[in-house]
Chain A
Amino acid sequence: MLTENLVALQVVVPLIFAPVCLLLGKSRHAWACALTVSWLALGIATLLVTRVATIGTQSYAIGAWAAPIGIEYRVDMAGALIIFIIAAIGAMVMSYARRSIEHEIAAENSGYFYACYLLCLTGLLGIAATGDAFNMFVFLEISSLSSYVLISLGTTRRALTAAFQYLVMGTIGATFILIGVGMLYMMTGTLNMMDLAQRLPGVDDTRTIRVAFAFVTIGVSIKLALFPLHLWLPNAYTFAPSVVSAFVAATATKVGIYVLLRFFFTVFGIHFSFVAMHVGEILMVLAVVAMLVASLVAIFQDNIKRMLAYSSVAQIGYMILGISLATSAGVTAGMIHLFNHALIKCALFLCMGNIFLRLGSVELHDLRGLAQQMPWTMAVFVIGGLSLIGVPLTSGFISKWYLVSAVLDAGLWPLAVLILLASLFALIYIGRVVEAAYFSKPDPTAKKVREAPASMLIPAWLLIGANLYIGVDASLLAGIARQGADILIGAGVP
Chain B
Amino acid sequence: MQGPLGLYNYWIVIVLMMTGFYIVIARPNLIKKIVGLFVFQTSVFIFFITMAKVEDGTAPIIQEGVNLYSNPLPHVLILTAIVVSLATTALGLALVVRIRESYGTINEDDIHVQDEAS
Q: Which residues of A contact B (CB under 8 A)?
A: 134, 137-138, 141, 145, 148-149, 152, 157-158, 160-161, 163-164, 167-168, 171-172, 174-175, 178-179, 182, 185-186
| A residues near B48, Cβ cutoff 8 Å | 182
Q: Which residues of A contact B98 (CB under 8 A)?
A: 152, 160
Q: Given A148, A168, A175, which contacts B33 in the complex, CB threshold below 8 Å?
A: A168
Q: Is the CB of B96 within 8 A of A164?
A: yes
Tell me how far the C-beta of B78 lies from the nearest C-beta in chain A, rounded to whole angstroms: 9
Q: How far is the CB of B111 from chain A (nearest CB, A)?
A: 6
Q: For A182, what are the chain B residues with a Cβ–Cβ distance below 8 Å?
A: 44, 47-48, 51, 74
A172–B87 alpha-carbon span in the complex (Å): 14
Assess the A164–B102 pair: CB atoms within 8 A: no
Task: Offer 22 A-B interface pairs, CB within 8 angstroms, sorted by A.
Answer: A134-B77, A141-B84, A141-B87, A148-B95, A149-B91, A157-B103, A158-B115, A160-B95, A163-B95, A164-B95, A167-B88, A167-B91, A167-B92, A172-B21, A174-B84, A175-B40, A175-B41, A178-B81, A182-B44, A182-B51, A185-B74, A185-B77
Known: A161-B111, A179-B47, A186-B51. A171 touches B96 (CB 8 A): no
A178 near B44 (CB under 8 angstroms)?
yes
Whether B24 sits at the interface, judged by CB under 8 Å, is: yes
Closest approach, in angstroms, between the C-beta of A431 and any C-beta of chain B?
29
* Binary A-proximity of B83-116 (CB < 8 A = 1, otherwise 0): 0100110011001101100110000000100010
A148 proximity list for chain B (CB < 8 A): 91, 95
Interface status of B9 (Cβ within 8 A of chain A): no
Contacts of A168 in B (CB 8 A): 24, 33, 37, 92
Q: Which residue of A lies closest to B88 (CB)?
A: A171
CA distance A456 to B43 in the complex (A): 47
Closest residue of chain A to B38 (Cβ to Cβ) is A171
A168–B96 CA distance with the chains assembled, in angstroms: 12
**Is the CB–CB distance between A172 and B92 below 8 Å?**
no
Highest count of chain A CB atoms <10 Å: which of B21, B73, B84: B84
Chain A nearest CB from B16 CB (Å) reads: 12
Chain A nearest CB, measured from B109 CB (Å)? 12
With the chains together, A164 CA to B34 CA distance in Å?
10
> What would 12 more interface pairs be, CB under 8 Å, given A141-B87, A160-B102, A167-B92?
A148-B95, A152-B95, A160-B98, A161-B111, A164-B96, A167-B91, A168-B33, A172-B40, A175-B41, A179-B44, A182-B44, A185-B73
Residue-wise interface mask of B (39-81) relative to A, using a CB-CB cutoff of 8 A (1 in contact, 0 not): 0110010011001000000000000000000000110010011
